Amino acid sequence: MTKPASVLIVDDDETFNRVLMRALTRHGFAAEGALDAAGALAVARQMRPDRVVLDLSLGGSSGLALIEPLLQLNGDCRIVVLTGYASIATAVDAIKLGAVQYLAKPVEVETILDAFAADLRPRVDEPPPSEPLSVDRLEWEHIQRVLRENDGNVSATARALRMHRRTLQRKLAKRPVRN
């Protein structure tokens, strides 16, 4: 009998973490959870997970910083990044670092399972989007790109955008605009 695939859930929301661990266990995985980066690396060193569900925002730090160390522990690990505030800039960063998928919360367990199983080769027969992004969505993407360039520093980002810091904070507190 083969042992079940292992999955590590890294999310600072304790309830979400527990619910997702239970759901993935019901789907046949050996699931463990961690609430922060240090805990995630400690668990990963012991279990060498086959799969990881990684929250982008871990109590003020970026989950992206965990992708490389997790892949060093298991080069075949399939990492899915989850976020409540999706942006093209962070999605590109996650994929470049080695994540296999980037999903916006809320997300169904089946979507996560599909992301783990997905064929990662780009599809050349897929047509480009028929409608351009809305102005509001373009603004959100631009803010996220400049924020990333300034290593998450809101004051430096506000200066770069020639925007009052409080205005920028209000914009960042909102959910991203849908396409």
Q: Which CATH architecture has domain 135-173?
A: Orthogonal Bundle (1.10)
Whole-number average pLDDT of the chain: 83
> What pTM does this model have?
0.69
* 89-130 tens-digit pLDDT: 888 888 889 999 988 888 889 899 988 887 554 444 455 556
Q: What residue type is 175 in one-letter code?
A: R
- What the block records as the tokens of 21 is 């661990």
- Comma-separated ranges of CATH 3.40.50.2300 domains in the chain: 6-117
The model's confidence at residue 7, banded by pLDDT at 50, 70 and 90, is very high
SS3 of 7-42: the string is: EEEECCCHHHHHHHHHHHHHCCCEEEEECCHHHHHH
Question: Which comes out higher in pLDDT, residue 80 or 57?
Answer: 80
Peptide bond into 128 cis (omega under 30): no
Please, which residues bridge with residue 38 across strands? none
- Comma-separated ranges of CATH 1.10.10.60 domains in the chain: 135-173
CB neighbours (10 Å) of residue 22? 12
The beta-strand segments (E) located in 56-179 are 57-58, 61-62, 78-83, 101-104
Please, which residues bridge with residue 54 across strands? 10, 81
CA distances from 15 to 12, 113, 159 (A): 9, 20, 37
Of 64, 63, 78, 71, the C-alpha closest to 29 is 78
The model's confidence at residue 48, banded by pLDDT at 50, 70 and 90, is very high
Q: Which CATH architecture has domain 6-117?
A: 3-Layer(aba) Sandwich (3.40)
